[in-house]
Amino acid sequence: MARPKVVQEQKRIYRYVIRLNEKEQQKFMAAAEISGVEVYKLLRTKLLTGRFPEAKIARVDLGVYLELKKIGVNVNQIAKQVNAGKLPFEIRKILLQLQEQQHLIIKVLLHDSNSEDR
């Protein structure tokens, strides 16, 4: 069974060759590894969109992220009760602190370039 033919507009017929020094090559390889894509896809995405592909979340970090999401849902439910006047108003300050900590943890997890699982 043969591969399906590619539509003429989707064919990639142009080829560009670039030369990199060792340091540049290492940067591209590291960026490709973090993004979870091959170098040619990384370069194409960067050139055509102006941005690098989003970094792949590590498997371990994904589990932590999901747990934090559950905590965030609980915090939002408690905040709803506070705003409805069903819980003491003093809890609001504690909830805001918890929410700030949650945002900080998520930010660190999403931008952790030193993770070995990426």
Whether 97 is covered by a domain: the verdict is: yes
Q: What are the DSSP calls for 36-91, one per residue?
A: TS-HHHHHHHHHHHSSPPPPPPPHHHHHHHHHHHHHHHHHHHHHHHHHTTSS-TTH
Whether 116 is covered by a domain: the verdict is: no
**Residue type for 59, please?**
R
Predicted confidence (pLDDT) per residue in 63-115, tens digit: 788 888 888 898 888 888 878 877 776 777 887 888 888 888 888 777 765 55
- 24 and 47 part of one domain: yes
Using the structure block, give the residue that is written with the tokens 């700030």.
100
- Indicate whether this model's pTM tops 0.75: no
- 104 and 74 part of one domain: yes
Whether 2 is covered by a domain: the verdict is: no
Give 22's pLDDT tier (boundaries 50, 70, 90): very high
**How far apart are the two ends of the chain, measured CA to CA in Å?**
36
Predicted confidence (pLDDT) per residue in 42-72, tens digit: 888 888 888 877 777 666 667 788 888 888 8
Show Cβ contacts of residue 73 under 8 Å, excluding neighbours closer than 6 positions.
Answer: none
- 46 and 64 part of one domain: no
> Domain limits at 91?
59-110
